[in-house]
Amino acid sequence: MIFSPFSDKNLTMQAAVALACGELGISETDLARRECVATLMEPLTKSGPVSIDRFKTFAVSQFLMSRA
């Protein structure tokens, strides 16, 4: 089996998006806002391995700042 760090990062981001959206009260059917949350995480993907919690915390803070 070939190890792919990209698939691991995708799984981490998916989990973080789900947690961030839950914290922000964004429903699973609100695809536009869920996509916005995921997009906010992109800068962290360039910094190497990042935990689910760090992705979530970063996205939540960025989302709230963008709505202020």
User: pLDDT tens digit string along 3-50?
Assistant: 455 567 788 889 999 999 999 999 999 999 999 999 999 888 888 788
pTM, full prediction: 0.83
The radius of gyration computed from the CA coordinates of the chain, to the nearest angstrom, equals 12
The band of 60, judged by pLDDT with boundaries at 50, 70 and 90, is: very high
Q: What share of the chain is helix, strand, coil (3-state, %, to 5)?
A: 75, 0, 25
Two tokens at 16? 């973080």
What residues contact residue 23 under an 8 Å CB cut-off, 6+ apart? 56, 60
> What crossing angle do the helices spanning 5-24 and 31-45 adopt, rounded to 10°?
130
The band of 53, judged by pLDDT with boundaries at 50, 70 and 90, is: very high
**CA–CA dist 65, 2 (Å, integer):** 40
